[in-house]
Amino acid sequence: MKISQNGLDLIKKFEGLKLDAYQDSVGVWTIGYGSTYWPDGRRVKKGDKLSGDAEAEQLLRDAVKTYEAGVNRAVKVHMTQNQFDALVSFAFNLGVGALEKSTLVKKLNKIDLIPVANEFSRWTKAGGKELEGLRRRRSAERDLFLK
């Protein structure tokens, strides 16, 4: 599967757009809509800049390919487009490794959707701190997943 515009919009909503590189809540250099790497594999670094919205959009579309592949690899059961989109957003924010190891995916692969959806709310910390923005994001991901 591939992410839909709804999924991209969810990522954009919570990541926000910054054309100049910045350090995220745990100090990782980030640019655009939350990208930490350039398409050629280089890490984003201090001083990096995007030329505008179109370049940021393309960078996001390039970046989500890794997370689409991770979700497709980790989930062994049929998903709706909304479920897939929510999981790609989750993986984009936390990483494919976290998704693959999560109880969320283990439960999903057992086709137990409500307990799976409730697992989103367990991932609301960055750097050991509970963040309101992550709580809101996980809630929106859960709602999209169950929609």
Distance CA 129, CA 97 (A): 20
Question: Annotated catalytic, 15?
Answer: yes
Count Cα neighbours of 122 within 13 Å in the Cβ-side half-sphere: 11
- Which one of 15, 68, 119, 141 is the catalytic residue? 15
Sole residue written with tokens 């609301």: 124
DSSP 3-state assignment of 89?
Answer: helix
Question: What is the token pair recorded at 31?
Answer: 């640019």
Q: What share of the chain is helix, strand, coil (3-state, %, to 5)?
A: 55, 10, 30
Active site residues: 15
